[in-house]
């Protein structure tokens, strides 16, 4: 178990700067998710922690020791790869204990550790099998077993669930989370799936284009996104973003509708803003924002309405069973927070609430 400190880390590929000076503090025993769209640098950062990529600038500390120049094996980390990277010619037990064999551990010690890990992961019946004889979920568990056996200071996960089908992904998600809670080892988890990050992590690092957009607990990010990028990235379906101007007592949108808000008093009238409204906060209203329906998608529990307000595409999640058709108009009002962002800096200015309309 260890504290991981990433300070001012930079990665250059030739003339391209892939990681642009990143600072992250990971507490001892914390489960941290690095999340962002593909190409944002999250995997590169993880591989730099692992020692698989050189560090072009800054330092990475594991357990208070700078590891910049250390080989992966000297960093006391274990990694679970996207495609599991199981050695195809070794049985499960050998896959799990390869690192111990290389380190010259005794047979008895290896056996004990492998059996321990196998018990934790329910892999006991499979120790004598080859990876090709296992299902996707079992392979995934072997990959984790290989990491557990090493008893490392830090677990690194590189999109470990992306090759599983949707159902298995959900159950493995829970399994990894409970495993982490049981072992208490610091974990860094890379994913492009924000739901995975939200459900598993103690702390999320949202990255984009080699920079950190925001660091915080899952609910922090959801409730108080620092900027438009995080607002749009976290939450599914994504937050609706509507351009408008602050007016007296609310925000006036491009189509002329006014949304009465409390909490906009501090802004000068006429200031352009982008209002961010989560799809699930909309409720049907007599008057309010006019949504032109494109399609309605019933899922049973709720209905997803895809349409537009003015020219801006919006999504509303309604608890009512609505059967709107193309061209119908629905009136809705947000019953939750309305985030206001600056269109220039793209930062969050504040959060307002819909005023009670009589």
Residues engaged in binding another protein (CB under 8 A): 50-52, 71-73, 77-79, 81-89, 98-99, 102-103, 146, 150
* 141 vs 146 by CB, closer to another protein: 146
CA distance 340 to 352: 7
Smallest gap, in angstroms, from Cβ of residue 115 to another protein? 19
> For residues 52 and 215, which CB has a smaller minimum distance to another protein in the complex?
52
Structure tokens at 247: 């007016």
CB 127 within 8 A of CB 91: yes
Q: Which is nearer to another protein, 73 or 319 (CB)?
A: 73
Q: Which is nearer to another protein, 189 or 253 (CB)?
A: 189
- In this structure, the dihedral spanned by the alpha carbons of residues 168, 169, 175 and 181, taken in order and rounded to 10 degrees, is -170
Provide φ and ψ at 102, rounded to 5°: -65, -35
Q: How far is the CB of 353 from another protein (least distance, A)?
A: 49
**Backbone Cα Rg of the chain:** 24
**Which of residues 13 and 326 has its CB atom nearest to another protein in the complex?**
13
Q: Which is nearer to another protein, 71 or 299 (CB)?
A: 71
CB of 177 to another protein, least distance (A): 23
Q: Which two tokens stand for residue 32?
A: 């941290």
In the complex, the smallest distance separating the C-beta of residue 103 from another protein, rounded to whole angstroms, is 6
**Min dist. Cβ of residue 159 to another protein (A):** 12
Residues 28 and 243: their CA atoms lie apart, in Å, by: 42
Instruction: Write the CA distances from 119 to 55, 160, 181, 183, integer angstroms.
Output: 37, 20, 16, 14
Residue matched to tokens 């992904």: 169
Residue 83 or 236 having the CB closest to another protein: 83
Residue 86 structure tokens:
């199981």
Supply the minimum distance, in Å, between the C-beta of residue 14 and another protein.
12
Identify the CA nearest to 333 among candidates 250, 214, 248.
250
The C-alpha torsion from 167 through 168 and 170 to 174, rounded to 10°, is 150
Distance (Å) of CA 156 to CA 65, 94, 151, 191, 291: 17, 21, 12, 11, 45
Determine the Cα–Cα distance for residues 331 and 317; give it in Å rounded to an integer.
Answer: 13
Choice between 34 and 77, CB closer to another protein: 77
CA–CA separation, 17 vs 82, rounded Å? 24
Provide the pairing of β-strand 203-208 with 31-35: parallel
Q: CA–CA separation, 124 vs 53, rounded Å?
A: 35
Shortest Cβ distance from residue 47 to another protein (Å)? 8
CB of 84 to another protein, least distance (A): 8
Residue 19, SS3 per DSSP: strand
Q: Kindly state the smallest distance separating residue 48's Cβ from another protein, in Å.
A: 13
Cβ-based nearer residue to another protein, 49 or 261 = 49
Closest to another protein by CB, 80 vs 330, is 80
Percentage helix, strand, coil, to 5, in the chain? Answer: 25, 40, 35
> Minimal distance in Å, beta carbon 312 to another protein?
39
């Amino acid at each position: 178990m260890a504290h991981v400190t990433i300070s001012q880390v930079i990665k250059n590929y030739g003339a391209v700067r892939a990681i642009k000076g990143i600072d992250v503090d990971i507490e001892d025993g914390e489960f941290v998710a690095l999340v962002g769209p593909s190409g944002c640098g999250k995997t590169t950062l993880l591989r730099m922690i692992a020692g698989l990529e050189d560090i072009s600038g800054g330092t990475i500390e594991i357990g208070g020791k700078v590891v910049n120049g250390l080989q992966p094996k000297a960093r006391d980390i274990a990694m679970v790869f996207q495609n599991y990277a199981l050695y195809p010619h070794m049985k499960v037990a050998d896959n799990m204990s390869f690192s111990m064999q290389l380190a010259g551990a005794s047979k008895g010690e290896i056996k004990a550790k492998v059996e321990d890990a196998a018990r934790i992961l329910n892999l006991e019946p499979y120790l004598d099998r080859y990876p090709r004889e296992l299902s996707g979920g079992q392979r995934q568990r072997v990959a984790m077993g290989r990491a557990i056996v090493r008893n490392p200071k830090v677990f690194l996960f590189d999109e470990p669930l992306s090759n599983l089908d949707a159902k298995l992904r959900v159950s493995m998600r829970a399994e990894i989370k409970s495993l982490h809670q049981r072992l208490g080892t610091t974990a860094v988890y890379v994913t492009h799936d924000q739901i995975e990050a939200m459900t598993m992590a103690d702390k999320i690092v949202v990255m984009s284009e080699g920079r950190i957009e925001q660091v915080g607990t899952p609910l922090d990010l959801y409730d108080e996104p620092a900027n438009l990028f995080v607002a749009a990235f976290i939450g599914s379906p994504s937050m609706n973003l509507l351009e408008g101007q602050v007016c007296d007592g609310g925000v006036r949108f491009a189509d002329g509708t006014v949304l009465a808000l409390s909490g906009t008093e501090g802004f000068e009238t006429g200031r352009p803003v982008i209002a961010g409204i989560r799809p699930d906060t909309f409720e049907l209203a007599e008057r309010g924002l006019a949504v032109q329906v494109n399609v309605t998608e019933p899922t049973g529990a709720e209905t997803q309405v895809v349409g537009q307000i003015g020219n801006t595409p919006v999504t509303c999640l309604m608890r009512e069973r609505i059967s709107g058709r193309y061209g119908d108009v629905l009136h809705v009002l947000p019953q939750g927070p309305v985030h206001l962002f600056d269109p220039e800096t793209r930062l969050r200015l504040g959060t307002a609430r819909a005023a009670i309309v009589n």
